[in-house]
């Protein structure tokens, strides 16, 4: 059955789901687009603040109806609070708005996010190798791919196949090189785009984070999307985050955007653990000569200017690119090599600056 046909069948089935105030979910103005992939079905139900509890039964019934139609696919039905379309407003009010509070994720001691002001600076590669370097320090590590529109973790870790789903609907994450990993990219076809509006993306992130059996982790590394947006705001407002590291390249253009990301984090009162300079320099393999292709010292100066630690630089070398494309991160493939050493230095600097991250 084509994805569009299945989506239409699911929406028709949602006509049997009653919503508070009368009416059905299929015609409810707060129902998002129904997204169907080869392994999952996802949609969101937008409600006005304070109506989350009242819509709880409708969400559960929608989950059951969708599961009966979609078979073995993972079903992701989320409630989002905000200002839905006028037609989505209930016919009665239900108390004053209640802002969501920050809550910890069961089993996870700390969340460490990796962000960047713009794309193309090697953020995901850094996140994966940082996770492996932290594991080499004796910590129990997981990684969550929160870059929903451009998920790279499956390729970087060589993940194959979709994550298993337990009978209660909870994901069982992949395991690669000893770390647990979860990414929506593992549920998509390689060339399939994620075309979701902000509420849909933040709902998916919440389920990937909170409906995954992470076990017991010392640190969950979260690979954020580049820039500043809904996913960042949702994560930082609703989840306890120990801190964020920012990845940039040395040139001024990248550092301008990195400063914007840093400004957002400060406005949201999220701890800044440091700045990483990726593609810091290039060593010619034939001559051994160093070339500062993107300039030199830019990230160090920027870190000083914005008063956060500079926690290390990573060279621009072919082995990192080749290993990343093959799903063999340098920290795992060659733990004693110079490329791995760069990431291990960053990990030890983070732990030295933030000793609370250790058990």
Whether the per-residue pLDDT at 198 is higher than 60: the answer is yes
pLDDT in tens, 319-347: 888 888 899 999 999 999 888 999 999 99
- Measure Cα distances from 68 to 6, 65, 74, 171 in Å: 12, 5, 11, 18
Whether the per-residue pLDDT at 8 is higher than 80: the answer is yes
Residue 1: what pLDDT? 56
Residue 220: what pLDDT? 98
Least Cα distance to 41 among 200, 181, 232 occurs for 200
3-state percent helix, strand, coil for the chain, nearest multiple of 5: 40, 20, 40
What is the token pair recorded at 279? 């593609």
Calpha distance 263→257 (Å, rounded): 10
Q: How much is the mean pLDDT over the chain?
A: 86
Residue 85: what pLDDT? 44
Global pTM value: 0.74
What is the four-CA torsion angle of 106, 269, 250, 122, rounded to 10 degrees? 20
Residue 157: what pLDDT? 96
**List of domains in the chain:** 3-88 (3.30.300.130), 108-357 (3.40.50.300)
pLDDT in tens, 17-43: 998 867 889 988 888 889 888 888 998
Tell me the H-state helices in the chain.
Answer: 3-13, 56-70, 123-136, 153-157, 198-210, 230-238, 252-267, 298-306, 318-325, 330-333, 338-353
Residue 224: what pLDDT? 95
């Amino acid at each position: 059955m084509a994805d569009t046909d299945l989506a239409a069948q699911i929406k028709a089935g949602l006509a049997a789901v009653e919503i508070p105030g009368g009416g059905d979910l299929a015609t409810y103005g707060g129902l998002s687009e129904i997204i169907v992939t080869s392994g999952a079905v996802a949609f969101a139900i937008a409600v006005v603040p304070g109506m989350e509890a009242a819509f709880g039964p409708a969400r559960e019934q929608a989950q059951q109806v969708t599961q009966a139609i979609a078979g073995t696919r993972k079903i992701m039905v989320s409630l989002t609070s905000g200002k839905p379309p006028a037609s989505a407003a209930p016919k009665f009010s239900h108390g004053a708005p209640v802002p969501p509070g920050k809550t910890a994720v069961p089993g996870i001691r700390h969340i460490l996010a990796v962000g960047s002001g713009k794309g193309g600076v090697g953020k995901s590669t850094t996140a994966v190798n940082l996770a492996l370097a932290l594991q080499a320090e004796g910590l129990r590590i997981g990684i969550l791919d929160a870059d929903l529109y451009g998920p790279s973790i499956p390729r970087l870790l060589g993940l194959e196949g979709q994550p298993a789903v337990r009978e209660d609907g909870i994901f069982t994450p992949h395991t690669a090189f000893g770390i647990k990993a979860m990414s929506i990219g593992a549920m998509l076809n390689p060339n399939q785009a994620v075309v979701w509006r902000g509420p849909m993306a933040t709902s998916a992130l919440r389920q990937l984070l909170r409906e995954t059996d992470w076990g017991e982790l010392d640190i969950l590394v979260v690979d954020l999307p580049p820039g500043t947006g809904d996913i960042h705001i949702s994560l930082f407002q609703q989840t306890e985050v120990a801190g964020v590291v920012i990845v940039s390249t040395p040139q001024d253009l990248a550092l301008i955007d990195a400063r914007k990301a840093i400004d957002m984090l400060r406005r949201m009162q999220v701890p800044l653990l440091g700045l990483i300079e990726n593609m810091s320099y290039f060593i010619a393999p034939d001559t051994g000569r160093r070339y500062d292709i993107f300039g030199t010292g830019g990230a160090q100066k920027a870190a000083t200017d914005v008063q956060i630690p500079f926690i290390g630089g990573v060279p621009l070398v072919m082995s990192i690119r080749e290993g990343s494309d093959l799903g063999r991160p340098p920290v795992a493939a060659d733990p004693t090599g110079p490329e791995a050493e760069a990431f291990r230095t960053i990990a030890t600097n983070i732990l030295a600056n933030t000793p609370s991250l250790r058990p």
